[in-house]
Amino acid sequence: MKAIRGATFVKEDSYEEIEKATLDLMEKIFSRNGLKDDEVVSVIFSVTKDLKSMNPATIFRKSGHDVPLMCLQEADFTGAAQKVLRVLVITDRDKTTNVVNVYDGAQSLKSWRWER
């Protein structure tokens, strides 16, 4: 098994913006990894507390993907980025297979460090 990570910022808390961000991010994850639906075991989404208008898992399901899905709220702490959608795609790929994580405009999240 291999996991593929992804993250993006959502412009505003609206159904349309969450839908666009979800579908764009997932399309990039699938295309950059040559991923097929039958290789996906499950998908876990997370959103920051300020994204309430729609559940990304519901959007992904409506787009025709029939895999186990879950959506969680990110931990809320001082200094955390806002309007962030993250995803973890668990695949049925050999552990030696290289994967491409997709930080669509959210590269800063990968290197972000909390400081007191």
Decide if pLDDT at 104 tops 90.
no
State what percent of residues in the chain have pLDDT above 70: 91
> Does residue 110 register a pLDDT over 60?
no
**pLDDT grade, residue 78 (50/70/90)?**
confident
**Do residues 103 and 12 touch, judged by C-beta distance below 8 A?**
no
**The residue count for the chain:** 116
pTM recorded for the entire structure: 0.89
Q: Residue 86: how many CB atoms within 10 A of its CB?
A: 20
Residue 74 DSSP one-character state: P
Q: Which residue in 3, 2, 13, 1 sits closest to 82, CA to CA?
A: 13
pLDDT of residue 111: 56
C-alpha R_g of the chain: 14
Q: What are phi and psi of 108, to 5 degrees?
A: -65, -25
Q: For domain 2-111, give its CATH number from 3.40.50.150, 3.30.499.10, 3.30.1330.40, 3.40.640.10.
A: 3.30.1330.40
- At 34 the three-state DSSP class reads coil
Nearest to 55 by CA among 67, 44, 66, 64: 44
Question: Which residue spans within 21-101 are E strands per DSSP?
Answer: 40-47, 69-73, 84-91
pLDDT digits (tens, 9 = 90+) for 27-45: 999 999 999 999 999 999 9
